[in-house]
Structures are given as structure tokens and as C-alpha cells.
Amino acid sequence: MAEQRTLIHGQWSNRTVFILAATGSAVGLGNIWKFPYIAGENGGGTFVLVYLLCIALIGLPIMMAEIMLGRRGKQSPINTMRALSREEHRNPNWVWLGWLGVVAGILILSYYSVIAGWAISYVFRTAGGMFQGVTADGVNSIFTDLVSDPERLLAWHTVFMVMTMAVVARGVKNGIEKAVTFLMPLLFGLLIIVVIYAMTTGHFMEGVRFLFTPGPIDGKGVLIAMGHAFFTLSLGMGAIMVYGSYMKKQHSIAQASMLIALADTVVALLAGMAIFPIVFANGLEPGAGPGLIFQTLPIAFGHMQGGTLVGVLFFSLLVFAAWTSAISLIEPAVAYLVENKGMSRIHAAEWMGGITWFIGLGTVFSFNIWKDKTLTIPYLFENFTFFDSLDYLTANIMLPIGGLFIALFSVWIMREQSTRDELATHPMLYNIWRFLLRFITPVAVIVVFLKAVGAI
């Protein structure tokens, strides 16, 4: 029997709201900003294939596990791990898994917010007509201008952090529930408009071929694809766990997880199909890096009918998508402070926001005054800036490790009956889930790690 636990943070009003909020967490900069540029840097086709396999075989079962743990534990991930290990009479050190997630969330948000700041500044640039009839060189220099100015980056980073903390301080439910309901579908619609524009460039098939034709990939590329599966589904750090803790008992975890993963994947693929035709039509570099969408999409907005309006809407929705993800990155930490330190949500949000904002300065400077200050970690990466290092360590190392231990805890530590109770799904589906998490997922994660460092 599960212990009785009280809910102090409230619950989602209904099933749809949970799905929307979790989709809001999953769909963000990861899909529209990061997926295209890392696919571009890692050669396209095979990378996309590995990413899709990771979503299905690793991401989806871990998502079910995370929601399940959260819903059973009913608290912030730290306290959930504490409660569940106690309930199962297991080693209390599992609580560290919760801490790992809290730290990962703060580190990710610190750079996520800086990139979201770029998107905010692009709303205004588009609105001001800066991109009308622009050339590829033009967008390039507009982008370089922005990132080489630390003050502007800092200002937008601050704006975004304040926006995020304002929602978190009010409680996740009130803020997110309403906004997500109509803004997510709108983002989807706008992405389709850009894909339609991409079809008119005459290079659509080239873009599609780039995304779907297998080519060479190395061990590092495979690790980046796997790390991205975790990142894009918000897995391995407790974001989905904490949202699961606000979910009601009677709703199906399996069904919700599939819907979330599907929506997330479709958005990423649409973003890819919007961006690569524009890349090829304008002789740009698919491996241009983190600036990729900021150097391609404005060309589309600058040349299509009504492009200013579409562009303003698009970047606004991108900011919104980033916002709903950012909230979930910090929620585990804030929920913990409220539970254990007796802080008000407002106070907890201020504290965590302040710390995250400060770490974000490192990313702000990575693109300008600290551009040449780099870090090398043997076997992992060479000459990475602060931003590159943080992104690599969080997405490709911390999230997969968090996910691995979530998997191990769910199927090797918890009693089968507890997980069966919670998932309450078709027996065959349950068995597949359990088999994947017991054997396939952990082995896959470990093999990918070993391959990336060249050990196998």
C-alpha cells in the first residue's frame, strides 16, 4: 500500500491539462532551436534515426517511469525519492537522484534563458522590419551583432528569468493551464506555415533528404542524439516527475506519455523541415551551430507574404514554448524549498531565480568576452566554451545518468506490485515497459556512453 501523502502544491484540473503542461515542458527550444542545429552539425540522416530510436526505446519508457514515480511520491523529486525508497525499504541514498535533477535543472535553465533571450530580441527585430528582403549575409551579421553584445544578452536573459520566476511564484497550475491550451496549437500552425514556405524554395527535397538519408556518424554523435532524446522530452532531471506528482491517480500514464512524445517529435521534425530547405536554398551551412535558426528563419520571414506578422508571431511563440519549458526546469528546486525550508513560493522562486540568473552570466559571456576561454575534458570534448561545456555536460551526461537511475529504481528497486498498481495498464504493455527498462534501456545508455569515450 502506498503511504498516505498530502499534496501541498495542488493538482492539475484534468487529464488534458496534465498532457498540455507536460507537452509544454517537452516542446521548447530543444525542438526548434537545438534539434536542427545538432542534426546539422552531426550530418543529418543517421543522427535523426538514432534520435528517433532513442525516443522510442529509451525516452518513452523512462517518461512513463518518471511520471509514475512522481505520482506515487506526490512531492518534489528529492522528497519523492526519499519517500519511495523508504516505502520500498531501500537505501535512502536514492535521494541523491533527486538532487542530481535539481542541479541539472538549474544549470540547464541558466543557458536556456540566455537563448530564450535571443528569441525575445528577435520578436522586436522582426516587428521593426529589420528582416524585410534580407540576404543570407544580412541575417548573419544581425545575429553576430546581437551575440557579441554582452549587455543586450544580459538584458534579455534577465527579462526571461523574471518572466519565468513570475509564473513559478504563482504556482505552476494557475499560470500554465490557461496559456498552454491555445498557444501550443498556434505554434504548431505557424510551424506549418514556415514548412509551406520552405516548400516554395525549390530545395525542399534536399532538406528532407538531409534529414532522413543515413550517412556516417561517430560515437559522439550517437551520444549527442541520445542526450537530446532526454533533453527534448524533459527527462532525467525530475521535471516530468514533479508534473507527474500533480497528476490524479485515475489517469493513464502510458497514454499520456505516448501523446507527449509524439507531439514533441512531430514539432522537432517540422522544425527540421522548415529550416533545412532554407539552409540549402541560401547556400548556408547546416553545421552553423547554435545560431542556425536565427540565421535561417528570418530569411523566410523577410521574403514571404505577410512575413513580418508571421515572424513576430513565430518568435513570440518560440519564447512562449521556451517559457513553459523553463518553468518545469526550476519547479523541482522550488517545490523542494517550499516543502523542506518552509519558504513561500515567491521567496523560493526569487532565490532559485537569482542563482540561476547568476550562472547564466557564464553563457552570456561565452559568445563575446569569454569566447576564447575554453575547456577541454579528455575523452569528452575539446576547446568548448562555457556554454558548450554546460550544454554538453547537462544534456549528454547528467540527464542520461539521471534517466538511467530512474529506470533502475523503477524496475529493480521498487516492488513489481507497486509499479503495476501505479501504471495500471494493459498487462502486455506493462510487460514490454518492464522488459525495456530492465534490460534494453540501461544497456543502451551504458553502451552509448562507452562508445562515446572510445572504450568500445
- The C-alpha atoms of residue 319 and residue 388 are separated, in whole angstroms, by 21
> Which cell numbers hold the place of 362?
557564464
* Binding mask of the shown chain, residues 27 to 46, with x at each position contacting ligand PHE by CB under 6 A: -xxxx---------------
Tell me if 253 contacts ligand PHE by CB under 6 A. Answer: no
What is the closest distance, in whole angstroms, from the C-beta atom of residue 356 to ligand PHE in the complex? 13
Q: Which is nearer to ligand PHE, 194 or 263 (CB)?
A: 263
Torsion angle of the four alpha carbons 197, 200, 202, 208, in this order, in degrees rounded to the nearest 10: 50
Pick the closer one to ligand PHE by CB: 399 or 411.
399
Q: Considering beta carbons, is residue 75 or 328 the nearer one to ligand PHE?
A: 328
Burial of 343 (0-12, 13-18, 19+ CB in 10 A): middle
Indicate whether 25 belongs to the interface with ligand PHE (CB under 6 A): yes
Do 240 and 63 meet the contact criterion of CB atoms below 8 Å apart? yes
Crossing angle (nearest 10°) for helices 172-199 and 307-340: 150
Taking the least distance from each CB to ligand PHE, the nearer of 77 and 442 is 77
| Residue found by looking up cell 569515450 in the block | 453
Judged by beta carbon, residue 50 or residue 108, the one nearer ligand PHE is 108
Residues 84-123 that bind ligand PHE (CB under 6 A): 108
Rank residues 177 and 331 by Cβ distance to ligand PHE and give the closer one.
331
Q: Is 328 in the site for ligand PHE (CB under 6 A)?
A: yes
Q: Is 382 helix (H, G, I), strand (E, B) or coil?
A: strand
Binding-site member from 26, 48, 67, 393 for ligand PHE (CB under 6 A): 26
232 binds ligand PHE (CB under 6 A): yes
DSSP 226-281: HHHHHHHTT-SSSHHHHHHTTS-TTS-HHHHHHHHHHHHHHHHHHHHHHHHHHHHH
- Out of 42, 76, 113, 325, name the contact with ligand PHE by CB under 6 A: 325
Judged by beta carbon, residue 261 or residue 300, the one nearer ligand PHE is 261
Question: Position 272: which residue type?
Answer: G
Letter string b/e over residues 263-274, b meaning 16 or more CB atoms within 10 A of that residue's CB: bbbebbbbbbbb
Q: Which is nearer to ligand PHE, 30 or 61 (CB)?
A: 30
Q: Check residue 381 and report its DSSP letter.
A: E
Number of residues that bind ligand PHE (CB under 6 A): 15
CB of 187 to ligand PHE, least distance (A): 12
Least distance (Å) between residue 228 CB and ligand PHE: 9
Examine residue 234 and tell whether it contacts ligand PHE (CB under 6 A). Answer: yes
Task: Name the one range near ligand PHE by CB under 6 A: 26-34, 81-89, 300-308, 354-362.
Answer: 26-34
Q: Which residue of this chain has its Cβ atom nearest to ligand PHE in the complex?
A: 30
List, in sequence order, every beta strand (DSSP E) within 21-123.
Answer: none
How buried is 152 (Cβ within 10 angstroms: 0-12 exposed, 13-18 middle, 19+ buried)? Answer: middle
Question: What's the grid cell of residue 391?
Answer: 550544454
Q: Which of 50, 52, 56, 48 is nearest to 440 (CA)?
A: 56
Give 29 or 270: the residue with its C-beta nearer to ligand PHE: 29
Considering the complex, what minimum distance in angstroms separates the CB of residue 334 from ligand PHE?
Answer: 14
Residue 231 binds ligand PHE (CB under 6 A): yes
Q: How far is CA 23 from the centre of its chain?
A: 10
Which residues are at the interface with ligand PHE (CB under 6 A)?
25-26, 28-31, 108, 231-232, 234, 237, 239, 325, 328-329
